[in-house]
C-alpha cells in the first residue's frame, strides 16, 4: 500500500480538523456506552507527545486527546497511523490481529516513543494505566470521523496556544472529560461550534453530542469543506465495539439500568423515558449515515453494496468448504483459532509484524501484513486462513459498514494469490511476487 495520501490528501487539499467519535468497547462499554472523543489535526504534528509543531511535507498530522491518568498530563499528541494501528507506517499494519499481537505492537511503540509519559516499571515490565488507548485505537473499536476544513493560520495559533498552556491533568468525568477536550479544540478553530446538551445528556459533554453539533455547524457553513467517514475496527480476536449513545439514551436503552430503576421508582423511570422520547432527534443521530470508508493509503470510498457483498459471501463459503474438506472436515475458522492459541508475536527483518505459530509439532513464521504474507511452504495454508478470517469480518452484516469495494477486491486478490502459491515450487516464487501480483490486480480494478 502506498503511504502517500492517507487523510491528508484523501479528503481535502487544505488542512483540516476531524472530530473522532470512537465506539465503546470492553468492560467500560458495558457500564457506559458514550465512547470516546479525540481530534485529528492534519496540519499539526508532534515534536514529542507533549510538544506540537507545524507538519512538514509528507507528514499526516496528529491525534490529540485527553485521557485520565497518563503521566499526569491533560493532553497528549500521537501521529495518526500509530494512534490508529500502533505501527509507524502503513505497510506495517496487520491484516488480522489477535490480542497478544495488539499488546505487543502497543508496547513496542511505547518503548520507542512514549517512555516519557508511560515509563517501564522498576523491573522493566510494561506499566498499567490508560496509555495503551493512545496507540492502536482501531484494534479496539470502530471510529467515525467528522472532518471540517481549517487554515494554516489557525493551526499555527493552536500550536502556540497549546504549547504555552499548562498541560496538567484536570480530568473530571462530568465536567472536564474527553468530549469537553474535543469541544475546546474544535471551538478554538470555530468558536461556539460545539456545545453540550443540557437535556439529552443532563449537561455532561458526550462524544455523540459533539459529533451531532459539528454536523449542524457544517450545515450552517457550507463554504467550509466537510466530510464524514468510518474507520473500521481491524479484524481480529478482540470483541467488536458497540454502538455509541448519549447519557439519557444509554440509560434508557440499557436493561441493567432502566429495569431496576422502574422497579424501585417508576416515576423516575417514567421521567427518563419522557426525556429520551423528547430528545429523540439526538438519539436518532446515526454517525454512520452517508459515511465513506477510510482505509490507510487510499482515498475515502463508498461502502461495498449489498449485491457485491452477497457475491463475495457465496464465494468465500465455497472456498472455506473446500479448505475444510482438505483438513478432514475441520472448519477453517476452528483450525486457525487453534493455531492462534500458540502464536508468539514478533517482527521480521524489515520490522513488519509476524506470528510464530506451532503447526504439527513444528514452528512456522506467518507474516501478517500484505508485504510479508507467506509465498509458499508450510505457513501458506495459515495465510489462507488468516485472509479468510479477515474477509468473514469484513463481510459481516452488522452496522456500521466495514469495507469498500476496492478494499474487498484487494483482500480477495491476496487470498487468491495465497491459494495459488502452492501451485509453484518454492524456488520459482521470488520474494515479493505475491505482493506484486496483488498490487497489479488492485491497480487493474
pLDDT in tens, 100-114: 999 999 999 999 999
Cα gap 175→204, rounded to integer Å: 6
For residue 317, is it within any domain? yes
For residue 235, is it within any domain? yes
Instruction: Note whether 218 and 360 are same-domain residues.
Output: no
Average pLDDT over residues 231-235: 95
**How far from 394 is each of 22, 225, 309, 390, 401, CA to CA, in Å?**
19, 29, 9, 6, 8
Nearest CA among 33, 1, 44, 42 for reference residue 227? 42
Instruction: Note whether 237 and 377 are same-domain residues.
Output: no
Instruction: Note whether 223 and 328 are same-domain residues.
Output: no
Cβ atoms within 10 Å, residue 41 = 26
Coil, helix or strand at residue 65: strand
Instruction: Note whether 130 and 240 are same-domain residues.
Output: yes
Instruction: Note whether 171 and 87 are same-domain residues.
Output: yes
The pLDDT assigned to 321 comes to 83
Say if strands 226-231 and 362-367 run parallel, antiparallel, or are unpaired: unpaired
Say if strands 292-293 and 344-347 run parallel, antiparallel, or are unpaired: unpaired
Sequential DSSP letters for 110-173:
IIIIITTTSPPPTTSPPP-SGGGGGS-HHHH--EEEEEEE--HHHHHHHHHHHHHS------BT
For residue 421, is it within any domain? yes
pLDDT in tens, 195-219: 977 655 656 888 999 999 999 999 9
Instruction: Note whether 320 and 239 are same-domain residues.
Output: no
Instruction: Note whether 30 and 161 are same-domain residues.
Output: yes
Instruction: Note whether 77 and 220 are same-domain residues.
Output: yes
For residue 71, is it within any domain? yes
Instruction: Note whether 237 and 379 are same-domain residues.
Output: no
Instruction: Note whether 205 and 76 are same-domain residues.
Output: yes
pLDDT band at residue 86, thresholds of 50, 70 and 90? very high
pLDDT in tens, 142-181: 999 999 999 999 999 999 999 999 999 887 766 689 999 9
Strands (E), 350-405: 353-359, 362-367
For residue 268, is it within any domain? no
The residue range of the domain holding 410 is 306-444
Would you say residue 39 has pLDDT above 50?
yes
The pLDDT assigned to 197 comes to 74
For residue 161, is it within any domain? yes
For residue 18, is it within any domain? yes
**How far from 194 is each of 46, 201, 212, 217, 276, CA to CA, in Å?**
25, 14, 9, 8, 21
pLDDT band at residue 266, thresholds of 50, 70 and 90? low
When divided into structural domains, the chain yields a total of: 2
The pLDDT assigned to 316 comes to 93
Instruction: Note whether 127 and 228 are same-domain residues.
Output: yes
- Mean pLDDT in the chain? 82
**Given 293, 316, 333, which residue is the final one in a domain?**
293
Cα gap 111→90, rounded to integer Å: 20
pLDDT band at residue 90, thresholds of 50, 70 and 90? very high
Instruction: Note whether 104 and 212 are same-domain residues.
Output: yes
For residue 15, is it within any domain? yes
8 Å CB contact between 408 and 310? no
Amino acid at each position: 500500500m502506498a503511504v502517500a495520501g492517507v487523510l491528508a490528501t484523501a479528503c481535502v487539499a487544505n488542512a483540516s480538523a476531524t472530530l473522532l467519535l470512537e465506539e465503546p468497547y470492553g468492560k467500560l462499554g458495558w457500564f457506559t456506552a458514550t465512547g470516546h472523543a479525540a481530534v485529528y489535526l492534519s496540519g499539526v504534528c508532534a515534536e514529542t507527545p507533549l510538544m506540537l509543531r507545524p507538519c512538514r511535507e509528507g507528514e499526516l498530522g496528529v491525534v490529540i486527546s485527553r485521557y485520565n491518568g497518563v503521566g499526569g498530563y491533560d493532553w497528549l499528541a500521537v501521529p495518526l497511523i500509530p494512534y490508529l494501528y500502533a505501527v509507524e507506517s502503513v505497510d506495517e499494519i496487520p491484516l488480522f490481529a489477535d490480542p497478544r499481537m495488539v499488546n505487543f505492537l502497543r508496547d513496542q511503540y511505547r518503548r520507542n516513543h512514549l517512555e516519557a509519559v508511560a515509563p517501564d516499571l522498576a523491573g522493566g515490565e510494561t506499566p498499567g494505566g490508560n496509555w495503551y488507548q493512545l496507540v492502536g485505537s482501531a484494534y479496539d473499536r470502530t471510529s467515525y470521523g467528522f472532518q471540517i476544513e481549517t487554515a494554516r493560520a489557525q493551526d499555527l495559533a493552536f500550536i502556540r496556544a497549546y504549547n504555552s498552556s499548562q498541560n496538567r491533568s484536570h480530568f473530571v468525568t462530568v465536567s472536564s472529560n474527553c468530549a469537553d477536550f474535543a469541544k475546546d479544540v474544535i471551538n478554538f478553530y470555530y468558536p461556539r461550534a460545539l456545545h453540550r446538551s443540557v437535556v439529552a445528556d443532563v449537561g455532561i459533554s458526550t462524544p455523540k453530542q459533539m459529533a451531532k453539533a459539528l454536523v449542524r455547524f457544517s450545515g450552517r457553513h457550507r463554504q467550509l469543506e466537510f466530510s464524514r467517514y468510518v474507520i473500521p475496527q481491524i479484524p481480529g480476536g478482540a470483541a467488536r465495539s458497540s454502538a455509541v449513545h448519549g447519557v439519557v439514551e444509554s440509560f434508557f436503552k440499557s436493561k441493567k439500568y432502566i429495569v431496576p430503576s422502574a422497579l424501585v421508582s417508576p416515576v423516575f423511570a417514567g421521567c427518563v423515558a419522557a426525556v429520551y422520547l423528547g430528545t429523540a432527534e439526538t438519539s436518532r443521530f446515526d454517525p454512520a449515515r452517508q459515511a465513506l470508508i477510510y482505509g490507510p493509503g487510499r482515498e475515502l470510498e463508498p461502502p461495498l453494496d449489498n449485491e457485491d457483498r452477497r457475491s463475495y459471501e457465496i464465494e468465500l463459503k465455497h472456498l472455506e468448504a473446500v479448505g475444510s474438506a482438505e483438513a478432514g472436515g475441520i472448519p477453517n475458522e476452528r483450525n486457525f483459532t487453534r493455531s492462534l492459541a500458540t502464536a508468539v508475536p514478533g517482527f521480521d527483518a524489515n520490522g513488519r509484524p509476524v506470528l510464530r505459530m506451532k503447526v504439527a509439532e513444528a514452528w512456522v513464521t506467518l507474516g501478517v501484513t500484505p508485504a510479508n504474507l507467506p509465498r509458499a511452504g508450510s505457513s501458506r495454508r495459515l495465510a489462507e486462513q488468516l485472509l479468510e478470517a479477515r474477509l468473514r469480518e469484513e463481510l459481516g452484516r452488522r452496522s456500521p459498514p466495514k469495507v469498500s469495494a476496492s478494499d474487498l477486491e484487494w483482500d480477495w486478490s491476496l487470498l487468491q494469490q495465497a491459494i495459488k502459491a502452492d501451485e509453484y515450487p518454492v524456488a520459482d516464487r521470488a520474494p515479493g511476487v505475491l505482493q506484486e501480483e496483488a498490487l497489479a490486480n488492485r491497480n487493474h480494478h
